[in-house]
Structure 1
Amino acid sequence: MWQRTFLILHGVENRRPEDHWQHDLAQWLRSRGEQVFYPQLPDPDRPSPAAWTEAVEAELGMMRGERVVVCHSLGCLAWLHLAAGRPGGPPADRLLLVAPPGPSAFSWDAIAPFTPGALDLASLRLSAAPPRLVCSDDDPYAPEGAATAYAGPLSCEVDLLPGAGHLAVADGYGPWPSVRRWCLDGTHRLTADRPH
């Protein structure tokens, strides 16, 4: 019986490249004998909230034990939409939201359908434990600040990483030891301790 299962959700235009911290995280967790789901979500260049949430629900149906979910970028918004469509309990036990796009990003037509504008963020039950939000102070996809947009309404614990951009490959986020530690211990605060 699995004691826990990890689900890793990528963002727009992401085809799970090997040099991304999420790919590294999936491989690292698997090397430790953990059960990991890291699906390629449908049509990553022109994503649909319905298609993405349907794909995520299918993954959730296979999870056993403690359900630990790690989302990056648009994957965070897919999770919010999934939670909004679920009348029952929270769909995860622990949740990490990394660099969700801010409200102004949804003027980009490729992700406009994922806008959180119609969601009552304060009413969403995202995870059994308080969700953790990790973001930077200079994310080009959240110029207003992801912490400002999401932390309060979602009752998130926040780790703000100065100068970390979108916490993507271009910002130096390949292997990221801090996110590995959080996966094993949800009390760990995330830091910009990536190898250089």
Structure 2
Amino acid sequence: MRKIWDDAVRTLGGTPDAGDLMERYAEPHRAYHNTFHAVSVVRDSSALADAFAFSVEERAVLALAACAHDVIYDSKPGEDERASAAWARERLAGLEEEHIARVESLVLATITHSSDDPLAHVLLDADLAILGSEPEHYDRYSAAVRQEYSQYEDAVWRAGRAKVLRSLLDREDLYVTEPARRLWDGAARANLARELQSLS
């Protein structure tokens, strides 16, 4: 992932400085939001981007946002993403402001999972690719997320998780891009419904 970061920075005319990128994702409290997740989002966002006419620079911006989107993670929704965006801005100092601001906005879009930016559509869909994985992979994901929120009693966790699952299932479209819908929507809805049933 560091090489992807460095190559993207060079593409945008900068001098790479990934700082503690890899160390952050390797923190012991990360059961799910770890290096494997970040690399998966980098990979899936790149694959989805192949279906669109993004410029080389836009793809570099997308790669940087995918690398940075969960670099700060303390199970504090909203705060984590804002801190990750700030981390990216600091690491990317020296690039043109246009590029820095777009990376920052892509990372911030993961707070609400909504944006008008086509690059964000790809990033957000890649971030949710796990929902459409094979059932056993999905089950490992949900168990890992539970582990990251182990500070909550089971009843509190179940209520909160059920609310999240219902909000996802209530969406007309889980995924924004057509390629992601084709790849993952059916399996994602089945996985979400199965987990929701297990919480009742």
> Fold-level match, TM-score > 0.5?
no
Give the greater-gyration-radius structure (CA). 2
Structure whose residues are more often helix by fraction? 2
| TM value normalised by structure 2 | 0.34
Higher strand proportion: 1
With structure 1 as the length reference, what TM-score do the two structures score?
0.34
